[in-house]
């Protein structure tokens, strides 16, 4: 909405239109005509620049020739005066423009002239965690909605912008595929974690622990397989694959080293496997003892022996093994939009898109690159960290002895990332999966018949995907 142009100046614009033979006043358009010196405001500096080149014509491109008629004259002056004041916000893209009907898809809205508070609604339903990161970037999490294309309404300050059919909600559930270690069941590291149960059916979410796999089926029920289908307390069998009978429907799951975490539809968190007691010795560090005062959450993550949760107010909690300080939440962390856990470190994406990490840091896995920029997602491996920046660029840092931090130069934009034990996985925008790093068990060898996917996860030596 234009402000700062008083009535007297508006009358002058009308008079100039008559005296100089201009047409109707030109409204602000996508490129904010009149903002000659790009500041987000059309003001005296732009007017001075225009007057300095008055009458210029015929010799190359003149930025003050706003209407492109080959001469700087009254027509260009009319554009400057009619656009006087703050530039109206514009939207160039919404990435991704497709997401699950379950909601929670991180979207990035790019454009220009974003300032002040913003709201985003998709099909009339408000998005959550809306953040104006800069004059060109807004991020948000989609709500749940029925399948289909919907209009996206963005209000920046008091300026509404509607993008018709700007986002499509889709049923992204599908069959689970897994490869790498565990295509047989013969013991460490092969516990059958890559043998997908024949009766599993379509799923909406997946996760991988070190030697087990977890999935959320279409009805919200959880199934797990691999290590921990018994609870002997030995040989990596701590019951991490024995889903509690009273768990109820869930929206998300996470795998730790020897434990499993679930986020129920009411936002409460459950955990089982190693760490249901806290003896202070391997592997029981209380990582499966959910704090009584945790409250409702929106995301969960599991390290080898610690658990992390993102509460609905954006604060982060962590518990379990803490020798490296991975459960000590930085006092200045502030509200966050995403979390992840490596084996011995913890990562979070703050509301402004910046990334923080803490815990074990021998190989620099907690040292955030200075030029990283705002991100939408992160994950942690054994000794490395991987991130997904706004726009889909993937970065990784930390231990790189197997090339796990060497992101392929031809990877292209991605929609999700995952980290395993010394390997990395990315879901590209076209639905194809790429993996790189340690490949002793074939975890980085993508099945030739995989097809487009909607989700990925990395265990210690295996990879999991939902083929949509």
**pLDDT, the chain, mean:** 89
Q: Return the half-sphere exposure (C-beta side, CA atoms, 13 A cut-off) of residue 161.
A: 25
Report the largest interatomic distance among the alpha carbons of the chain, rounded to a whole angstrom.
92
Most confident range (mean pLDDT) of 78-87, 160-169, 440-449 is 440-449
Question: Where residue 180 falls among pLDDT bands split at 50, 70, 90?
Answer: very high
373 plus 293 within the same structural domain: yes
322 plus 263 within the same structural domain: yes
Q: How far is CA 134 from CA 37, 115, 131, 390, in A?
A: 18, 7, 9, 12
Query: Does any domain span residue 185?
Result: yes
Per-residue pLDDT tens over the stretch 322-353: 999 999 999 999 988 899 999 999 999 998 88
379 plus 423 within the same structural domain: yes
Select from 380, 387, 378, 448 the least CA-distant residue to 420: 380
| pLDDT computed for residue 12 by the predictor | 29
390 plus 269 within the same structural domain: yes
| pLDDT computed for residue 259 by the predictor | 98
CA distance 143 to 139: 13
165 plus 183 within the same structural domain: no
pLDDT top residue among 305 and 107: 305
| pLDDT computed for residue 351 by the predictor | 85
Average pLDDT over residues 52-78: 82
Tokens of 6: 């008083």
253 plus 292 within the same structural domain: yes
| pLDDT computed for residue 427 by the predictor | 97
Query: Does any domain span residue 316?
Result: yes
pLDDT top residue among 381 and 335: 381
Show contacts of 221-226: CB within 8 Å, 24+ apart. 221/247, 221/249, 221/250, 222/247, 222/250, 222/253, 222/262, 223/197, 224/260, 225/192, 225/193, 225/195, 225/196, 225/197, 226/182, 226/191, 226/192, 226/193
pTM, two decimals, is 0.80
Question: Where residue 59 falls among pLDDT bands split at 50, 70, 90?
Answer: low
| pLDDT computed for residue 60 by the predictor | 53
Query: Does any domain span residue 1?
Result: no
Query: Of 86, 118, 151, which marks where a domain is finished?
Result: 86
Give the CATH number, domain containing residue 289.
Answer: 2.130.10.30
Tokens of 288: 């499966």
Give the CATH number, domain containing residue 116.
Answer: 2.60.40.10
Question: Where residue 24 falls among pLDDT bands split at 50, 70, 90?
Answer: very low
| pLDDT computed for residue 154 by the predictor | 95
Whether the per-residue pLDDT at 140 is higher than 70: the answer is: yes
Give every CB contact of residue 41 below 8 A, 6+ residues apart in sequence: 35, 85, 86, 87
Q: How far is CA 184 from CA 176, 188, 194, 211, 452, in A?
A: 17, 11, 8, 12, 25
Paired residues of 223 in beta bridges: 215
Query: Does any domain span residue 459?
Result: yes
Express as a percent the part of the chain with pLDDT over 90. Answer: 67
3-state SS of the chain? Answer: CCCCCCHHHHHHHHHHHHHCCCCCCCCCCCCCCCCCCCCCEECHHHHHHHHHCCCCECCCCCCCCCCCCCECCHHHHHHHHHCCEECCCEEEEEECCEEECCCCCEEEEEEECCCCCEEEEECCEECEEEEEEECCEEEEECCCCCCEEEEEEEEECCEEEEEEEEEEEECCCEEEEEEECCCCEEECCEECCCCCCCCCCCEEEEEECCCEEEEEECCCCEEEEECCCCEEEECCEECCCCCCCCCCCEEEEEECCCEEEEEECCCCEEEEECCCCEEEECCEECCCCCCCCCCCEEEEEECCCEEEEEECCCCEEEEECCCCCCCCCCCCCCCEEEEEECCCEEEEEECCCCEEEEECCCCCCCCCCCCCCCEEEEEECCCEEEEEECCCCEEEEECCCCCCCCCCCCCCCEEEEEECCCEEEEEECCCCEEEEECCCCCCCCCCCCCCCEEEEEECCCEEEEEEC
Question: Where residue 274 falls among pLDDT bands split at 50, 70, 90?
Answer: very high
Query: Of 31, 62, 86, which marks where a domain is finished?
Result: 86
302 plus 397 within the same structural domain: yes
Per-residue pLDDT tens over the stretch 216-265: 999 999 999 999 999 999 889 999 999 999 999 999 999 999 999 999 98
177 plus 76 within the same structural domain: no
| pLDDT computed for residue 443 by the predictor | 98
305 plus 294 within the same structural domain: yes
290 plus 356 within the same structural domain: yes
159 plus 20 within the same structural domain: no
Query: Does any domain span residue 379?
Result: yes
CB 314 within 8 A of CB 129: yes
Question: Where residue 100 falls among pLDDT bands split at 50, 70, 90?
Answer: confident
pLDDT top residue among 355 and 5: 355
381 plus 319 within the same structural domain: yes
pLDDT top residue among 39 and 406: 406
Average pLDDT over residues 88-110: 85
Query: Of 70, 86, 102, which marks where a domain is finished?
Result: 86
Domain that holds residue 106: 90-169
Average pLDDT over residues 391-418: 96
Average pLDDT over residues 156-176: 91
Query: Does any domain span residue 306?
Result: yes
Question: Structural domain tally of the chain?
Answer: 3
Question: Where residue 69 falls among pLDDT bands split at 50, 70, 90?
Answer: confident
Whether the per-residue pLDDT at 8 is higher than 50: the answer is: no
CB 260 within 8 A of CB 242: no
pLDDT top residue among 418 and 22: 418
Tokens of 414: 């991605």
Q: How far is CA 35 from CA 38, 86, 136, in A?
A: 5, 9, 15
| pLDDT computed for residue 61 by the predictor | 61
Query: Does any domain span residue 2?
Result: no
Average pLDDT over residues 120-139: 90
Average pLDDT over residues 194-212: 97
């Amino acid at each position: 909405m234009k402000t700062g142009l008083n009535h007297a100046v508006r009358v002058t614009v009308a008079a100039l239109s008559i005296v100089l033979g201009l047409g109707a006043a030109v409204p602000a358009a996508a490129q904010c005509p009149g903002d000659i010196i790009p500041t987000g405001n059309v003001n005296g500096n732009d007017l001075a620049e225009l007057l300095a080149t008055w009458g210029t014509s015929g010799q190359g491109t003149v930025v003050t020739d706003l209407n492109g008629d080959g001469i700087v004259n009254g027509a260009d002056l009319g554009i400057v005066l009619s656009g006087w004041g703050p530039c109206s916000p514009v939207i160039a893209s919404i990435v991704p423009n497709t997401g699950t009907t379950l909601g929670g898809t991180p979207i990035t809205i790019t454009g220009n002239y974003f300032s002040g508070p913003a709201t985003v609604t998709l099909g009339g339903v408000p998005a959550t965690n809306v953040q104006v990161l800069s004059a060109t970037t807004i991020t948000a999490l989609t709500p749940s909605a029925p399948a289909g294309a919907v209009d996206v309404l963005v209000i920046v300050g008091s300026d509404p912008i509607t993008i018709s059919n700007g986002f499509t909600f889709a049923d992204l559930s599908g069959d689970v595929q897994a490869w790498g270690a565990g295509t047989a069941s013969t013991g460490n590291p092969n516990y059958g974690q890559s043998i997908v149960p024949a009766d599993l059916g379509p799923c909406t979410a997946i996760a991988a622990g070190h030697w087990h796999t977890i999935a959320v089926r279409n009805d919200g029920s959880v199934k797990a397989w691999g290590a921990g289908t018994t609870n002997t307390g030995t040989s990596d069998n701590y019951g991490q694959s024995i889903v509690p009978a009273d768990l109820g429907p869930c929206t998300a799951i996470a795998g730790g080293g020897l434990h499993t975490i679930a986020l129920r539809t009411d936002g409460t968190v459950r955990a089982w496997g190693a760490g249901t007691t806290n003896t202070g010795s391997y592997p029981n560090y209380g990582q499966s003892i959910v704090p009584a005062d945790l409250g409702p959450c929106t995301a969960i993550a599991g390290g080898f022996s610690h658990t992390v949760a993102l509460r609905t107010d954006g604060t982060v909690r962590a518990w379990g093994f803490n020798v490296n300080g991975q459960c000590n939440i930085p006092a200045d962390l502030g509200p966050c939009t995403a979390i992840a856990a490596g084996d011995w470190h913890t990562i979070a994406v703050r509301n402004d898109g910046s990334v923080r990490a803490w815990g074990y840091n021998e190989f620099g896995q907690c040292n955030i690159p200075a030029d990283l920029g705002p991100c939408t997602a992160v994950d942690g491996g054994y000794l490395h960290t991987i991130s997904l920046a706004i726009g889909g660029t993937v970065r990784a840092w930390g231990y790189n002895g197997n090339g796990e931090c060497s992101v392929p130069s031809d990877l292209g934009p991605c929609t999700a990332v995952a980290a395993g034990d010394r390997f990395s996985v990315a879901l590209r925008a076209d639905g194809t999966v790429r993996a790189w790093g340690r490949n002793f068990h074939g975890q980085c060898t993508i099945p030739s018949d995989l097809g487009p996917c909607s989700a990925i996860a990395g265990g210690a030596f295996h990879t999991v995907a939902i083929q949509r």
